[in-house]
Amino acid sequence: SFLMYRLISTVGLTVEMVDPHDLELELVRLGFEGHHKHKLSIDPTDVEAASLDFGGMGQAWPLAVLHPTSADDVARLVRTIYESTHGLTVSARGHGHSINGQAQTDNGVVIEMNMRPGLTSVVVGSEENSYVDVWGGELWIDVLKSTLEYGLSPKSWTDYLYLTVGGTLSNAGISGQAFHHGPQISTVYELDVVTGKGELLTCSEEQNSELYHGVLGGLGQFGIITRARIALEPAPQRVRWVRVLYSNFSAFTNDQEYLISLHGRPTSDKFDYVEGFVIVDEGLINNWRSSFFSPRNPVKISSLSSNGGVLYCLEITKNYDEYAADTVDQEVEALLKMLSFIPASVFTTDLPYVDFLDRVHKAELKLRSKGLWDVPHPWLNLFVPKSKIAEFDQGVFKGILGNKTSGPILIYPMNKNKWDDRSSVVTVDEEVFYLVALLRSALDSGEETQTLEYLKDQNRRILDFCREAEIGVKQYLPSYSTQQEWMDHFGDKWDLFLHRKMQFDPKRILAPGLRIFHPSV
Ligand code: FAD
C-alpha cells in the first residue's frame, strides 16, 4: 500500500520488502524486540484512528502507531528516531481530543498513550500531602475512580473527564476550581518525561526543574509525560449545584469576580466551583431549562430576555458531606445573598460528587445517540483580560455572534496568582482574566449559520475584532500555522520556549502537529 511504501522509504527499507513479515523484522532491527507483535503497528485501522481528532477538521496519516506498554517503550522509540537521519517525528496522542491536529503527524509515529499499564498508585498522607502516581495516558475519569477508593480526589479539573493526564497537563487543565486551586498544572508534584533525545527523566521543582516547568503547559514540545504525581484532597460526598441568571453583563461579571476573590477564605465562606455561560438564543434557553429543572422556582426564562436577548448564567457549586447536609443550605444562602442576579432565577440541584464531575459525559451520550458528537468542532478558547471583558461582551456576545451560537459559550474568571509563571503556558498580563470558550459544533442542517465555513469565518472575525479593539486576548489550546504567529503568541516567553526546545528536543521531533517547529534531518 501507499502507506507501507512511505514507511518503507522513510525508514530506509527497500521496496521489495513489502511483505509485512519483513517489515516487522525491520522494525525489530530498529529496536522493537518483537515479542509484543503489535506494539508498533501499521495496521490501517490503527493508523486511521491515529489520523483523526475531536476537531474533525483535518486528518494526518502517521507512518505507524506505537502501543507502548511501558515508559521504556516510549523512550526507545524516541531514541531510535532521534538517532536516525530520516527527519521523522513523534506525536504522543492522549485521547485525541484536540481540535486542530495537535496530536497528529504525517511524517512519523503516533504513540497511543491512552491505555492502562496499571501504574496508578495512591499514597495517603495527611490532608496536605496525599498524592497519586498515574501513567501519562490515563484518563482523568479513571484517575478519579482510583482515588475515590481511598476517599481522595484530585483538586483541579477539566469540565470533561475523558481526556488524558498528559493531554491536559500539556495545556493547563482548567475548570471552575481553577480560581482557588489553580489549573491542573499547578497541582503536579513530579513527572517522568521522555525528552526528544529519548532520555527518561524524573523532574520536579527540585530536580530537572527546567524540564518540569517547561513540560507543564508545554504543548508536548519538550517531552512525553509517562508518569505524573498529582496532589489529592479528601473527596466530598455530594455537590449542591446552583445556577442563577443575569441580564446585566456587569452585574454578572462583578459577581463572578467577587466570588473568585474569596479564594483565600475558609471553605465554608466560598463556593468550590465558579463558572458561567452566555445564552444568546432561545434554543439554548429551552434546552438548558429542560435539563436543569427546579420545581421550587418556576420561572419563565424567555420572559427574562431583554437587552438584545443575551442572558448570562452564573454556575456555582458547594461540596459537602452528608453529615453536614444541614449547614450547606445556610452557607449557600449566605453567599447568594451577596449576589445581584435576577430574583427568582435560582435553579438548584444536588448530586453525588462523581456525577457532578462527570456531567459532560452525560451530554456526550445524548449527543452521540443523535449522531451529533462526531461532527466538526471549530472551537475557539480565549483568555480575555478583566479590564476588557465588557468590550468583548459588546463586540462578540452582543455583536458578532448574532442570535445563533451552535453550542455552549462558557465564561469565567480566574486568579493569575494561582498560575506559575515558570511554566510554558501563556496567559494574559492581568491579575484576573477570563476564559471564554466558544464550543461550537458544525452541522450540515441546511442552515448557513451552522456550517463549518460560517463558524470558522466567525472565529476569524472574533479574532480580528480582538486585534483591532486591542483586547489583548491569548488563545488557550492555541493553534497557528506560522512561526511568526507563535512568536507573537508567546511574546516575552518565546526566548525561553525556544531555549527549552533546543535543550530538550534539539532535532524538533516531538509534537509536530502544533506547527511551531520543523523537524531537522
Ligand atoms: P490529545 O488531543 O491526544 O493531545 C493533545 C496534545 O498533548 C498534543 O500536542 C499531544 O502531542 C500532547 N500530548 C498528549 N499526551 C501527552 C503526553 N503524555 N505527554 C506529552 N504530551 C502529550 N480543556 C480544559 O482545560 N478544560 C476543559 O474543561 C476542557 N473540556 C473539554 C471538553 C471536551 C469535550 C474536549 C474535546 C476538550 C476539552 N478540553 C478542555 C481540551 C482538552 O483539555 C485538550 O484538548 C487536551 O489536550 C485533550 O487531551 P487528550 O488526552 O485528548 O490529548
Q: Considering the domain boundaries, does residue 520 fall inside one?
A: no
Whether 488 maps to a domain, the answer reads no
Rg (CA), the chain: 24
* pLDDT on residue 119: 65
Residues 246, 288, single domain; the answer is yes
Domain limit, last residue, from 179, 214, 234: 234
Name the strand (E) or helix (H) holding 243.
strand 238-246
Helix or strand (DSSP H, E) at 111: strand 108-112
- Residue with the smallest CA separation from ligand 1 atom 45 is 98
CATH number of the structural domain spanning residue 248: 3.40.462.10
Closest CA to 261 of 435, 432, 436, 434: 432
Place of cell 453525588: 352
- Both 378 and 453 in a single domain? yes
What the block records as the C-alpha cell of 194 is 521522555
Q: Tell me which of 234, 251, 268 is where a domain ends.
A: 234
Res 305: pLDDT: 54
Give me the pLDDT at residue 199, please: 98
Question: In terms of domains, do 65 and 138 share one?
Answer: no
By C-alpha distance, which of 457, 445, 454, 465 is closest to 283? 445
Mutation choice for ligand 1 from 78, 138, 168, 409, CB with most ligand atoms inside 8 A: 168
Same domain, 304 and 406: yes
334, 451, 462 from 448: Cα distances, Å: 46, 6, 18
**Catalytic pick among 24, 26, 106, 159:** 159
100: three-class secondary structure by DSSP: coil
Assess whether 443 and 460 both reside in one domain. yes
Sorted by sequence, the CB contacts under 8 Å of residue 213 that are 6+ apart come out as 420, 422, 423, 424
Write out pLDDT tens, residues 437-480.
999 999 988 899 999 999 999 999 999 999 999 999 999 999 99
Q: Name, in order, each residue with C-beta under 8 angstroms of 127's C-beta and a sequence gap of 6 or more.
A: 233, 234
Of 190, 275, 315, 393, the catalytic one is 275
Has residue 410 been placed in a domain?
Answer: yes
343 part of a folded domain: yes
Residues 252, 353 within the same domain: yes
- Which ligand 1 atom sits nearest the alpha carbon of residue 92? 11
Atom number of ligand 1 nearest to Cα 183: 25
* Residue 179's CATH number: 3.30.465.10
> What's the CA-to-centroid distance between 398 and ligand 1, angstroms?
30
Measured by CA distance, the residue closest to atom 32 of ligand 1 is 160
What pLDDT score was predicted for residue 163? Answer: 98
Index of the ligand 1 atom closest to the CA of residue 514: 9
Would 440 be classed as within a structural domain? yes
CB 173 within 8 A of CB 156: yes
Give residue 295's pLDDT: 39
Exactly one of 95, 97, 180, 377 is catalytic; name it: 97
Per the CB < 8 A criterion, the answer to whether 419 and 383 are in contact is no
162 and 215 share one domain:
yes
Rounded to whole angstroms, the Cα distance separating 312 from 45 reads: 44
d(CA 256, CA 276): 8
Q: Are 197 and 247 in the same domain?
A: no
Question: Which residue owns the Cα nearest ligand 1 atom 8?
Answer: 103
Give distance in angstroms: CA of 246 to centre of ligand 1: 32
Instruction: Please report the atom of ligand 1 found closest to the CA of residue 99.
Output: 45
Residue 445 CA: distances (Å) to CA of 69, 282, 331, 367, 441:
43, 18, 46, 15, 11
Give the model's pLDDT for residue 39.
83
Cα separation, 353 vs 236, in Å, equals 6
SS3 518: coil
* Dihedral sign, Cα of residue 336, residue 342, residue 348, residue 353: negative
Query: Residue 163 C-alpha to ligand 1 middle, in angstroms?
Result: 6
CA dist 333 and 497 (Å) reads 47
97 annotated active-site: yes
Q: What does the chain come to in residues?
A: 521
Give the strand pairing for 108-112 and 64-66: parallel
Provide the domain count of the chain.
3
Per the structure block, which three cell numbers stand in for 352?
A: 453525588
- Tell how far the Cα of 165 is from the centroid of ligand 1, in angstroms: 8
Same domain, 245 and 387: yes
Q: How far is CA 223 from CA 30, 74, 79, 145, 214, in A?
A: 21, 10, 12, 27, 9
> Mutate which of 163, 171, 379, 515 to test ligand 1's pocket (most atoms within 8 Å of Cβ)?
163
Which pTM value belongs to this model? 0.93
Decide: 443 and 372 in contact? Cβ < 8 Å.
yes
CATH number of domain containing 73: 3.30.43.10
Closest atom of ligand 1 to CA, residue 184: 25
The reply to whether 350 and 384 lie within a common domain is yes
Helix (H, G, I), strand (E, B) or coil at 241: strand
Mean pLDDT for the chain overall: 89
Tell whether 221 and 266 lie within a shared domain: no
**Cα-Cα-Cα-Cα dihedral sign, residues 104, 106, 107, 113:** positive
Is residue 116 assigned to a domain?
no
CA distance 490 to 477: 13
- Pocket mutation for ligand 1, best pick of 74, 97, 175, 216 (most atoms within 8 Å of C-beta): 97
Name the stretches of the chain with pLDDT < 70: 1-38, 116-119, 127, 282-308, 521
> Is the distance from CB of 401 to CB of 470 less than 8 angstroms?
no
* Residues 243/315, Cβ–Cβ less than 8 Å: yes
Domain that holds residue 21: 2-111+506-514
**Residue 288 contacts by C-beta under 8 Å, 6 or more apart in sequence?**
279, 301, 313
From 202, 234, 266, the end of a domain falls on 234
Residue 455 placed within a domain:
yes
The answer to whether residue 397 is domain-embedded is: yes
Q: Residue 364 belongs to what H/E stretch?
A: helix 359-369
Are residue 36 and residue 163 in the same domain, yes or no?
Answer: no
Residues with CB under 6 A from ligand 1: 53-54, 91-98, 102-103, 113, 136-137, 158-160, 163-164, 166-168, 170-175, 219-220, 224-225, 477, 511, 513
3-state secondary structure 125-136: CCCCCCEEEEEC
Backbone φ and ψ for 411, nearest 5 degrees, come out as -150, 120
Helix (H) or strand (E) holding 463: helix 452-468
Q: How far is the CA of 92 from the centre of ligand 1 (A)?
A: 11
**What distance in Å separates the CA atoms of residue 213 and residue 422, rounded to the nearest whole number?**
6
